[in-house]
Amino acid sequence: MAENRQKALFVHNIGELWTAEGLRAAAGPAMGRVKKFRDTCLYIEDGRISAIGEEARLRAAATAAPTFDAEGRACVPGFIDSHTHFIFAGWREDEFYWRAQGIPYMEMHQRGGGIQKSVDATRRASLEELVRLGKARLETMLSLGITTVEGKSGYGLDKETELRQLQAMDELSTVMPLTIIPTFLGAHSIPPEYKDRPREFLAFLVREVFPLFKKRGQTPFVDIFCEEGVFGIEDSRWYLEQARAAGFALKLHADEVKPLGGAGLAAELGATSADHLLKASDQDIQALAAAGTIACLLPLTAFNLREPYASGRRFIDAGCAVALASDLNPGSCYSQSIPLIFALAVLYLGMSIEEALTALTLNGAAALGLAAQTGSLEPGKDADFLLLNAPSPGHLAYHAGMNLVHSVFKRGILVWQNGNVLGPARI
């Protein structure tokens, strides 16, 4: 089916427009260099930004285009949530309360609860059920201004269910106006069938599941949960080398609970991103910066696990490109709150509002290999943008945990406004 794109649109009366710039991730000090326009307009042709500027200058070119009045609202690029696990069945609210009483996340994992509980429920769920559950979560994402989202498999740990999770994302791509990038996370946990045999399980994934995903040709990334008690450094290196040889780009859940050195491994292998990084060492952070591997920080997970946040400041000062994402999942973080991410980034991660915006837009796009196409507002890029119920994007962290999104445009088409999904079947 062909992509839907707005033929032409002229958005005028924008109060303040803020955007990062560039076709690749912004690293270090570049993260704070956000371009700011006042009293400006956006001219869109064929679903892409054609020009940004003053009404008097742009109007002439845009005479035939329908006009949209932003009524003085602020404008930013659509948010990119570059790390989620939004396709799963069942719930784990019991664990949330156990954690609140002090039981560690990994203890539940070791007792066979945790991820395995979601695996059991997801294995039992039909494709229709997974699509229904995923759709509701995508609707919430749209309402929060997310126009591109990554979704990981990893609640199947067998061929059939992993494929079913990916099929659910395929189907949702045809009915929801967001870009969905699937990641193969079969190496999320060791299923009971392979208890204490991590390497054999990984070899099974390489042998029997990789070819299926390669054949589909739509799964750019392979990810692994590199963690003590799950997949260690050597198993992770072996697996990711196989993935790279099979043509996948790489992501890692790295140094979340124990400082295993997953961030260093990500840099060594040239991974696109290393995610979590709560326990990453200074040396490994420098290695990420040197390798150009994006540091994807997930503050909602640290909040939920009551762990010290990964300091965004430390990563940016070391020269890294930092992305921020939700990590929406049924266990360690059932939240997709972009507003709370903004507030945490500024109040606890030591980031400026400009750096947080870059992390949730351009660098999120780069973490998904899409920085040349989306993530910033500049001529030639997709017209994925938001209008906010605020005069300036500076309000994004200041209205702590509150949704400021007024309207969401995907490829120039208004797809969400005032609580309603308006979008066409497919973007």
User: Annotated binding residues for 4-imidazolone-5-propanoate, as ranges?
Assistant: 92, 155, 188, 256, 332
Cβ 330 to ligand NIG, closest distance in Å? 5
Q: Which stretch binds ligand NIG (CB under 6 A): 45-53, 306-314, 323-331, 393-401?
A: 323-331
C-alpha torsion angle, residues 131, 172, 251, 358 (rounded to 10): -120
Site for ligand NIG in 78-137 (CB under 6 A): 85, 114-115, 118
- Region of 401 please: left (phi>0), alpha (psi -120 to 50) or beta: left
Q: Is 327 in the site for Fe ion (CB under 5 A)?
A: yes
Residue whose beta carbon is closest to ligand NIG: 331
Q: Is 355 in the site for ligand NIG (CB under 6 A)?
A: no
Looking at the Cβ atoms of 251 and 406, the one nearer to ligand NIG is 251
Q: Which stretch binds Fe ion (CB under 5 A): 65-73, 165-173, 321-329, 356-364?
A: 321-329
Looking at the Cβ atoms of 253 and 279, the one nearer to ligand NIG is 253
Cβ 176 to ligand NIG, closest distance in Å? 23
Q: Is 384 in the site for ligand NIG (CB under 6 A)?
A: no
Looking at the Cβ atoms of 16 and 327, the one nearer to ligand NIG is 327
Residue from 177, 220, 331, 412 binding ligand NIG (CB under 6 A): 331
Residue from 253, 279, 381, 406 binding ligand NIG (CB under 6 A): 253
Cβ 327 to Fe ion, closest distance in Å? 5
Amino acid (1-letter code) at residue 383: A
Q: Which stretch binds ligand NIG (CB under 6 A): 26-34, 329-337, 380-388, 404-412?
A: 329-337
Binding site for Fe ion (CB under 5 A): 327
